[in-house]
Chains A and B, each alone.
Chain A
Amino acid sequence: MKGLDELIADAAVFAGLDTRWLELIASCARNEHVSAGEYLFYEGQPADRFFLIRRGRATLEVHAPGLGPKVIETFEEGEVVGWSWLFKPYRWQFDARANSPTSVVAFDAACLRGKCEADHELGYQLMQRFASAMLERLQATRLQLLDVYGHDRISV
């Protein structure tokens, strides 16, 4: 069975980090299991944790009155759920829900922010990796906004 630091090292967002940093990050993490339908977090709540999916799938959702929940994006094995813990005011902007039995590594955000404050090199390395992942998501979201499939044929 893999240790937390090994599980973390396998995730793309932490790839290539020194062992000493992986150990520091692992000291802020623990394994958890989430049942299908259970929420990882709700919009407006303090963003005091974030998650690495080990197995299963989670969805990011927004709830609109009268329309119910709308799925924005899904996350699978090896992907990180949650950015809001990185930036003030540290509050979730959306809901996140497991849509199958899901195993996650849950990170204590305050703990990890504290480690980054204490070691700015770790903070820089993490910020670089998370910024790259956020850029990828931003670009995907822009493509999603284009609604390309709605207008994908010449009208004849």
Chain B
Amino acid sequence: MAMIGSVSEARLDGPGPMVPEPFGVVAKHQDTVDTWTLTLEARSGDPLEFAPGQFTMLSAGGAGEVPISISGDPGRPELLVHTVRAVGLATRAICDAEPGRVLGVRGPFGTPWPVDEIEGEDVIVAAGGIGLAPLRPVLLELLARLDRLGRIVLLYGGRSPDQLLYPDELAELAARGLEVLITVDSAGPEWLGHVGVVTQLVGRAAFDPTRVIAMACGPEVMMRFTVAALANRGVPIDRIYASMERNMQCGIGHCGHCQLGPTLVCRDGPVYRWSELQPWLAIREL
């Protein structure tokens, strides 16, 4: 297996993929009440080249390690950007890290969004909650090649207006050609945008269902319903991709904690074609 070979070679030639590299926090921004965006730089000075959709294993010493999707610009690999929601011990420790603090980084790992397969087609990017973070690199990459694509439409659903990520940047991206439809589950009267679930945006978006690639990231329930709504509009499910989350621990397909059917999410995912995922998602025990 290529993966085992590369790991063995890495052991001989360097620290290997299980050894975290030190990255310093250079900037920190609070996005919502429990979510922060951290910008990191490698202490070695080497850029961390990555493809949109990949993740790293991120750790703040002594608090455990956690898989976090990269949310930075693939065109600026010298800056490693992660948007992290503080929900447990490891993520709280990472979110507590202030500029100057050193975090451990392994990776990047996993499969990317199929950006290179898209030529002249419409693209639907469906994000739910913090699921926008793994999709930010693909939005930036798609906008960089807008002249070779049809419409790029972002459908973004959040819990409430104050829980939405990157609102200012989304306005900038809209000015650059991204069509942005946002909805929230609940809001006060001061919110002038949509209220409702993200699946309802599928019916409101303008795209050609026969020439579209869709990418979804968010809670699994949200993705299932979004895929159903896309399929109802005539999008073939083998043209829909989703980023999955399971209990990823090693990041290199060795430990088996993130098994989903015959696949390991850290190695064969997190980005899958929906038609490959669907049989396994129907099995509740997985």
Binding site for B on A (CB under 8 A): 57, 59, 61, 68-74, 76, 97, 99-100, 140, 143-144, 146-156
Contact = CB atoms under 8 A, between A and B. Distances in A.
Given A140-B197, A149-B163, A155 B225 contact: no
A69 B189 CA distance: 6
Interface stretch (B18-26, B111-119, B125-133): B125-133
Nearest to B131: A152
B128 A69 contact: no
Nearest to B129: A149
Contact of A71 (B89, B158, B186, B247): B186
Counting contact residues on chain B (CB < 8 A from A), the size range is 35 or more
A95 to B, nearest CB: 10
Contacts, number: 92
Given A149-B129, A152-B130, A74 B158 contact: no
Interface string B178-222: 000001011111011111110110001000000000000011011
A68 B222 CA distance: 29
B91 interface: yes
Nearest to A60: B195
B48 to A, nearest CB: 21
Given A72-B195, A76-B204, A149 B128 contact: yes
B85 interface: yes
A149 B160 CA distance: 9
B196 A148 contact: no
A148 B222 CA distance: 7
A146 B221 contact: yes
B32 to A, nearest CB: 11
Contacts of B61: none
Interface of B: 64, 66, 85, 87-91, 128-131, 157-159, 163, 183, 185-189, 191-197, 199-200, 204, 218-219, 221-222, 225, 245-247
Nearest to A36: B192
A71 B188 CA distance: 6
A12 B199 CA distance: 17
A152 B219 contact: yes
Contacts of A156: 64, 66, 87-91
Contacts of B64: 156
B187 A71 contact: yes
B142 to A, nearest CB: 23
A152 B189 contact: no
Contacts of B195: 59, 71-74
A153 B159 contact: no
Nearest to B225: A143
A9 B163 CA distance: 38
B245 A143 contact: no
A70 B158 CA distance: 16
